[in-house]
């Protein structure tokens, strides 16, 4: 697939890297000379250092033969204009646009067929939705949800003294039986799709797939605090993400409180969120923890624009007795640090946006896509097509690409951990993990040729 990306910032750079690893033909357009030079030195693709909203530049990039145009610059207006140009002048089949202003997404004027924009992506709204899903699922770890709600994937980090450390996966299954599968082990920044003989170590991050109840029992055995319904929630930061999270998680029986340092924002929040308690204070003032009795809260969510402050505030709250903590981060390297200092879950606007874009790129063939291990692998959910070449073939005879694994098959809303004799049927939902370079093979294997 030939894909043109306008904008090589955080989202554009990560997206391009993953698409190149999946062997797509990627061309990047970036106006900033230093950014363009950095990308050209680190990614194996053509980089055009120029303005994306010029017809001559789009023509130079080869937009007339592109399968998809993705505009993710820092300017909403440039993103929208270039997507409209891609539609009207070059007839590109698929256009995906990043917007920072959520009003564009709410407006009926955009995303309609006459404008030709297929998908609008707002990283902040994607991040807020990811946080809300994590809260709904208990917030005791990172959680990856699928359209098929019968199954989910969670990240279990093995702390010092973990009962699982030193065991093989086979020993773990024997000592802690259940209908679950360890899909991957992330160790020292490398991801491994393991066998039963793999020996677990302290510091390992396990990606575990199962139903919600089985995962809750497994995490409880490992020492995690699993709360069925989080009632007392504090949000630090009343910006766009914090505000949206409050709207999404507010329930009749849930008490939500926002701490915001800007008096002007506090007045706006009070008008917009009448059922949420708004506190004008600075989270760096230690007195606020005592004054508001924050230790009594079950969950803290830190969503300020300062990721270091988010992590420190969340970690400090945990030492005071707050049960769970979610921190908003922008740097992928901080995810590993966050787990080491006791933060239960991290969410990245950039990562959330990239996953949303990747899900749209397949034209509906993938029901969901989750990127893990800093873009080294994907967990893909897809529906088996009637043209699938391996229908009714025992899985032991299915030619799976190297470094890939079927994690779950959902049939009639029932989750199955398939063995080698399991046969797929048309309409089954399949969840597969694979390294990026195997993604196109997985798609063709289960959904048939394009």
How far is residue 409's CA from residue 424's CA, in Å, rounded to a whole number? 8
Q: List, in sequence order, every residue forming a beta bridge with 25; answer none if it has no partner.
A: 2
Q: Which of 146, 68, 22 is nearest to 441 (CA)?
A: 22
Long-range contact list for 413-422, CB < 8 A, 24+ apart? Answer: 413/148, 413/149, 413/150, 414/150, 415/148, 415/150, 415/151, 415/179, 415/210, 415/211, 417/179, 417/180, 417/181, 419/395, 420/394, 420/395, 420/396, 421/394, 421/395, 421/396, 422/394, 422/395
Rg for the chain, CA atoms, rounded: 23
CA 399 to each of CA 25, 423, 424: distance values in angstroms, whole numbers, following the listed order: 26, 13, 13
Dihedral sign from CA coordinates of 182, 188, 190, 192: negative
Q: Phi, psi at residue 301, to the nearest 5°?
A: -125, 115
pTM of this structure: 0.90
Burial zone of 239 (CB within 10 Å; 0-12 exposed, 13-18 middle, 19+ buried): middle
pLDDT at 113: 54
How far is residue 380's CA from residue 234's CA, in Å, rounded to a whole number? 33
How far is residue 349's CA from residue 329's CA, in Å, rounded to a whole number? 8
Q: Phi, psi at residue 213, to the nearest 5°?
A: -65, -40
| Domains detected in the chain | 2-121 (3.40.50.720), 127-136+227-347 (3.40.50.720), 149-221 (3.30.70.1450)
Q: Phi, psi at residue 220, to the nearest 5°?
A: -60, -40
Q: Are 299 and 139 in contact (CB under 8 A)?
A: yes
- 368-404 pLDDT tens trace: 889 898 888 999 998 888 888 899 999 999 999 888 9
How far is residue 307's CA from residue 205's CA, in Å, rounded to a whole number? 22
pLDDT at 441: 84
How far is residue 138's CA from residue 129's CA, in Å, rounded to a whole number? 14
pLDDT in 10s for each residue of the chain, 450 residues = 999 999 999 999 999 999 998 889 999 999 999 999 999 999 999 999 999 999 999 999 999 999 999 999 999 999 999 999 999 999 999 999 999 988 887 776 665 555 789 999 999 999 999 999 999 999 999 999 998 888 999 999 988 888 889 999 999 989 888 889 999 999 988 999 998 899 999 989 999 999 999 999 999 888 888 887 899 999 999 999 999 999 999 876 899 999 999 999 999 999 999 999 999 999 999 899 889 898 899 999 999 999 999 999 999 999 999 999 999 998 877 887 898 898 999 999 999 999 999 988 876 678 888 989 888 899 999 888 888 889 999 999 999 988 899 999 999 888 899 999 999 999 999 999 998 888 778 888 887 665
How far is residue 410's CA from residue 428's CA, in Å, rounded to a whole number? 6
pLDDT at 209: 95
Burial zone of 178 (CB within 10 Å; 0-12 exposed, 13-18 middle, 19+ buried): middle
Q: Which of 86, 77, 104, 78 is nearest to 27 (CA)?
A: 86
pLDDT at 103: 82
């Amino acid at each position: 697939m030939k894909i043109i990306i306008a904008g090589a910032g955080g989202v554009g750079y990560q997206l391009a890297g993953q698409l190149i690893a999946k062997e797509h033909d990627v061309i990047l357009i970036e106006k900033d000379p230093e950014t363009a030079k950095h990308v050209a030195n680190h990614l194996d693709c053509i980089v055009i250092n120029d303005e994306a909203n010029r017809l001559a530049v789009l023509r130079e990039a080869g937009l007339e033969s592109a399968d998809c145009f993705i505009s993710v610059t820092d300017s909403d207006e440039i993103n929208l204009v270039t997507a409209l140009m891609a539609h009207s002048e070059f007839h590109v089949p698929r256009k995906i646009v990043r917007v920072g202003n959520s009003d564009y997404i709410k407006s009926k004027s955009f995303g309609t067929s006459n404008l030709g924009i297929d998908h609008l992506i707002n990283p902040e709204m994607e991040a807020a939705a990811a946080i809300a899903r994590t809260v709904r699922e208990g917030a005791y770890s990172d959680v990856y949800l699928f359209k098929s709600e019968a199954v989910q994937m969670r990240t279990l980090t093995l702390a010092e003294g973990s009962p699982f450390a030193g065991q093989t996966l086979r020993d773990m299954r024997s000592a802690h039986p259940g209908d679950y599968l360890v899909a991957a082990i992330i160790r020292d920044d490398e991801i491994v799709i393991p066998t039963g003989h793999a020996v677990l170590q302290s510091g390992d991050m396990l990606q575990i797939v199962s139903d919600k109840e089985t995962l809750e029992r497994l995490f409880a055995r490992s020492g995690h605090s699993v709360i069925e319904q989080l009632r007392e929630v504090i949000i630090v930061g009343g910006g766009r993400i914090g505000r949206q999270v409050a709207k999404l998680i507010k329930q009749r029986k849930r008490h939500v409180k926002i701490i915001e340092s800007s008096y002007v924002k506090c007045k706006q929040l009070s008008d917009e969120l009448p059922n949420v308690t708004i506190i004008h204070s600075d989270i760096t003032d230690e007195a606020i923890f005592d004054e508001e009795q924050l230790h009594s809260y079950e969950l803290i969510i830190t969503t300020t624009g300062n990721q270091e402050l988010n992590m420190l505030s969340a970690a400090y709250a945990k030492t005071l007795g707050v049960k769970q903590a979610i921190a908003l981060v922008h740097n992928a390297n901080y995810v590993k640090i966050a787990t080491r200092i006791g933060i239960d879950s991290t969410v990245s606007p950039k990562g959330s946006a990239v996953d949303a874009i990747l899900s749209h790129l397949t034209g509906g063939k993938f029901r969901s896509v989750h990127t893990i291990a800093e873009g080294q692998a994907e967990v893909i959910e897809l529906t088996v097509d009637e043209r699938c070449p391996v229908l009714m073939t025992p899985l032991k005879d299915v030619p799976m690409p190297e470094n890939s694994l079927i994690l779950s098959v959902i049939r009639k809303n029932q989750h199955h951990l398939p063995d080698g004799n399991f046969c797929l049927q048309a309409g089954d939902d399949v969840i597969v993990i694979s390294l990026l370079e195997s993604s196109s093979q997985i798609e063709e294997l289960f959904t048939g040729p394009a």
